[in-house]
Homo-oligomer: A and B are copies of this chain.
Amino acid sequence: MSPQPNKRPGRTIRSVQIAFNIIDLLQEEAGIGVTRIADELGHSKSTVHSHLRTLEERRVIVREGDGYRLGLRFLDVASHVRDQIGNFDIVQKEVDSLAEETGEIVQFGVEEYGMVSYLHKAQGEHAVETLSRVGTQQPMYSTSLGKTILAYLPPERIEEIAAAMEYEPKTANTITGPEELFEELETIREQGYGIDDEENINGLRCVSAPVKNDETILGAISITGPSSRFTEDRLHGELADYVRSAANVIELNTKFS
């Protein structure tokens, strides 16, 4: 489905794989039972049964009606994860207020596995609905968040990620190769912000600004909107200013922690 950058081999444990296949399945479709899961995954019912028992005992999944769904425990896990990321509340506050102020979609992303993961998202008044969702992943080369984060990663990490990239053209404007990408990264470093000009989704443009702590990049904050409202002038002008100052606020608040 998506490129797998850090593919290190090593031994991997089958039962755990199966368990997570079940979890993945239940994430997509709740309320299914043993038989259905067994069919879907190509395992015997008895195998799936044992797994469901284990997951149930662990309170990872819950019986509901006839079928299972993921347990609320995940909400707890998620909030722990947010805490672990550090400074989440600061990021949240700033993202929310920028969304409120501009009425557009504002997102904060960090790098994980050579992709951008959305840590927080807020939509203002006239929000365009986008498919992105907190916790999901997007390629780095086709999003302003991704390119901006990439631009400020240590050179060897950039190489590593770029080497594992598979450039899939999502629109006519998508970056299609390394040379184009490196050039873009250079531009971003020069101007201090990154642009996505309908490179990921047709009709949508974004600007992102990096959030750094000293010299290490923590993530990036972006603002997204329809090309009609997001003209080239505004992108490089006030919108870029918005994200840069928001990034700045986060940096200042996060500096001494």
Contacts and interface: CB of A to CB of B under 8 A. Distances in A.
Interface stretch (A48-56, A98-106, A161-169, A170-178): A48-56
Contact of A71 (B53, B55, B81): B81
Interface string A110-134: 1011000111000000000000011
So how many copies of this chain end up in the complex? 2
Size bin of chain A's contact surface: 35 or more
Given A70-B84, A84-B70, A17 B135 contact: no
Interface stretch (A7-15, A89-97, A140-148, A225-233): A7-15
Interface stretch (A72-80, A193-201, A235-243, A244-252): A72-80
A38 interface: no
A174 to B, nearest CB: 23
Contacts of A202: none
Interface string A20-54: 10010001101000000000000000000111011
A177 to B, nearest CB: 26
Interface stretch (A58-66, A179-187, A207-215): A58-66
Interface of A: 6-8, 10-17, 19-20, 23, 27-28, 30, 49-51, 53-60, 62, 69-82, 84-85, 110, 112-113, 117-119, 133-136
7 contacts: A8-B53, A59-B112, A71-B81, A72-B81, A74-B81, A76-B134, A76-B136
